[in-house]
Chains A and B, each alone.
Chain A
Amino acid sequence: MTTNYAALIADDRVHGSLYVDTDVYAEEMDRIFTRGWVFVGHESEVPGRGDWVTRKLGREPVIMVRDRTDTVHVLANRCSHRGTALCWEAAGNARSFQCTYHAWTFGLDGRLKGVPHPGGFHGDKASLGLDRPGQVDSYRGFVFANVSGDAPPLAKHLGPGGTELIDRLCDLSPTGTIRIDGGWIGHRVASNWKMWPESDNDGYHLGWVHASMVSTTDTYYEDTVLGGEGGNKSLASDLGDGHFELDFRPSYKTELAWLGAPRAKVAGYCDAMAATYGAERAERLLWDGPPHAYIFPNLFLGEMNLAIVEPVGPGVTVHRHTAVQLDGADEAFNRRLLRQSEAAMGPAGFIVPDDAVTAERMQAGFAGSRPAWAVSGADPATRAGAGGGRAWIDLSRGLDRERTDSDGRRHGDVTDETTNRAFWRHYRHVMSGWS
């Protein structure tokens, strides 16, 4: 029996058990992280031949590696002989992957190249290469994988919304390319992974969760979020396909507000942008800045940061971030981005630790959550308790004032829970097996 998701997720509320239930977690690992597309990494993380990084796609440990023909592969981090992990550090460079157990050797493309004492080996080398996700594809350097191999193409997963978000970030580079080479920092939080797509894109909490940051530093959030209802023109937007955004663009009062630096301080970058895009389009890009958005299920585009949301268990998540570096921008500009990332993100940042402790308090609050049918023993097919019962959380904020534009995108006030509903609507769709 699988969980009755339609009974646990309504348009205006979701049930707390979805954050703690071990069956739900197992089903997510299957339906979202195995059968769907998942962000793996960026091609610039493996700039040279033989460069590799390790990642987790749900439960599947993988290696992202660039081979001798400059093809980027995603391979299972698991020897095809006896299952030993081949790489156990975060990153490295290799000519080939050799297992430490019996020295089976694999090429950078995953092909089985050598088996010691071949006299006793009668296997088929061609079929004993490293496992790999059924589909791997990339968009502007962002590598995604679908482990099961039977999801619709990446372009369909990203949809127009996800594609546009990645475009808007990459177009801030004078060469149209971002670079990820500042290192990743993992932040371990005792919460379910779904608190992160929620809180990373919640425009309602800033004035309270981040009150200490807001009262000690000057940030552009003053103009873009904190005015609250009607105090600014920012939007909470559902871009479809599980992707969503806090859109600050309508609120910016100056160019480069998102950078917190005037043109005079980053003139080289501004000139390079104008040289690439022409004065008019560069001007637009410099006003609009990067998106603050989420690509389902595990990629946060946090303005000039990326974060990967890695589920570890129902109550443990790693929020792993890095700073975006813009190819074609000067070194001083990119170092500014590193310093801004350090200020905001990670275990010691001025922002995210307060989200982390809030997520942990939510997890504590959900500890006893069980759907009404589990408590009463009623048949889940009858949806007993769906209309009442305990441990529901309310996500109705702004539902009655959402508007839908001509592209079918829903928009609310930046403080509205439009972004959270966008996540859950798609989650329900995927988890109910309707995709």
Chain B
Amino acid sequence: MGIDEATRREIEAFLFLEARLADESRYEAWVGLMADDVHYWVPNGRADYDPATRLSYINDNRTRLATRVRQLQTGLRHAQTPASRMRRTVANIEVLAVDDAAGEVTVGANQVIYEVAVQSTGELRLWPGRVTFRLRRVDGAWRIASKVVELITAGDSLPNLTFLL
């Protein structure tokens, strides 16, 4: 793949930043990492279908993602009041494709989120899955053009999923 070691480190650092902002429910900063044409998708099963044609847990374009974040920021989103205590690990990071013409790279990683549902049951919930990012250089900085989270539990009945995945 046409990507040098320095760029690879830069991409890793970007993913770790994204993960930390999500863990800490820093909504404004997190959404600031998104490209204007972002697609944020959590499919109901594997990401092997056209999201236009079926229901997904999350299938956000920029507008809907902005609404999602605005709702969380009201402080009245009971399902995230208080915000879940979370930490996630992002591992097995691989650059899967490079598109020099578009200035984009596709990066895959495994992710496990540990969430304590402090809003009600207080239980520890695990959210393991595969994350695939399409990242783009915009004015010298990386931005997320697409983030797809394939939970290994997708398709099963899931509890509230109202934090940033």
Contacts and interface: CB of A to CB of B under 8 A. Distances in A.
Report, as a range, how many residues of chain A touch the other chain. 35 or more
A90 B159 contact: no
Contacts of A186: 156-158
A347 B160 contact: yes
A354 B78 contact: yes
Nearest to B165: A348
A212 B54 contact: no
Interface stretch (A152-160, A229-237, A335-343, A410-418): A335-343
Contact of A342 (B55, B70, B77): B55
Interface string A387-414: 0000000000000000000000000000
Contacts of A354: 77-79
Contact of B162 (A217, A338, A348): A348
Contact of B158 (A188, A335, A338, A358): A188
Interface string B56-89: 1111000010011011101111110000000000
Given A186-B158, A350-B68, A358 B78 contact: yes
Given A343-B64, A350-B68, A356-B79, A211 B74 contact: yes
Contact of A341 (B55, B71, B79, B162): B55
A216 B74 CA distance: 8
B56 A342 contact: yes
A293 B89 CA distance: 43
A342 B59 contact: yes
Contacts of A364: 120-121
Given A183-B55, A342-B55, A347 B161 contact: yes
B57 A348 contact: yes
Given A212-B76, A350-B67, A354-B79, A322 B55 contact: yes
Report, as a range, how many residues of chain B touch the other chain. 20 to 34
Contact of A213 (B42, B54, B58, B71): B71
Interface in A343-359: 343, 346-348, 350, 353-354, 356-358
Contact of A212 (B77, B156, B161): B77
B155 interface: yes
B25 interface: no
B53 interface: yes
Contact of B57 (A320, A346, A357): A346
Main SS class of interface, B = loop
A90 B45 CA distance: 11
B79 A320 contact: no
Contacts of B146: none
A189 interface: yes
Contacts of A271: none
Nearest to A345: B55
B52 interface: yes
Contact of B44 (A183, A356, A357): A183
B54 A215 contact: no
Contacts of A189: 159
Contacts of A358: 78
Interface in B142-165: 155-162
Contacts of A356: 79, 159-160
B78 A212 contact: yes
A151 interface: no
Interface in B105-123: 119-121
B159 to A, nearest CB: 5
Nearest to A211: B76
A347 B57 contact: yes
Nearest to B66: A216
A332 B121 CA distance: 40
B64 A183 contact: no
A189 B76 CA distance: 20
Given A188-B157, A216-B67, A357-B120, A335 B74 contact: no
Given A216-B74, A350-B68, A354-B78, A187 B157 contact: yes
Contacts of B158: 186-188, 347
A185 B44 contact: yes
Interface string A355-367: 0111011001000
A209 interface: yes
A184 B75 CA distance: 30
A215 B71 CA distance: 8
Contacts of B64: 343
B121 to A, nearest CB: 5
A359 to B, nearest CB: 9
Contacts of A342: 55-59
Nearest to A339: B59
B96 to A, nearest CB: 26
A348 B42 contact: yes
A215 B76 contact: yes
B58 A361 contact: no
Contacts of B57: 185, 342, 346-348
Nearest to B72: A212
16 contacts: A185-B44, A188-B157, A209-B78, A217-B71, A318-B157, A320-B157, A322-B55, A335-B53, A342-B59, A343-B64, A346-B55, A348-B161, A350-B67, A350-B68, A350-B71, A356-B159
Given A185-B44, A348-B161, 7 more contacts: A188-B157, A188-B158, A341-B55, A342-B58, A353-B79, A357-B120, A360-B120
Sorted nearest first, the 6 A-B pairs with minimum C-beta distance are A186-B157, A360-B120, A353-B79, A347-B161, A212-B76, A188-B157
Interface of B: 42, 44-45, 52-59, 64, 67-68, 70-72, 74-79, 119-121, 155-162
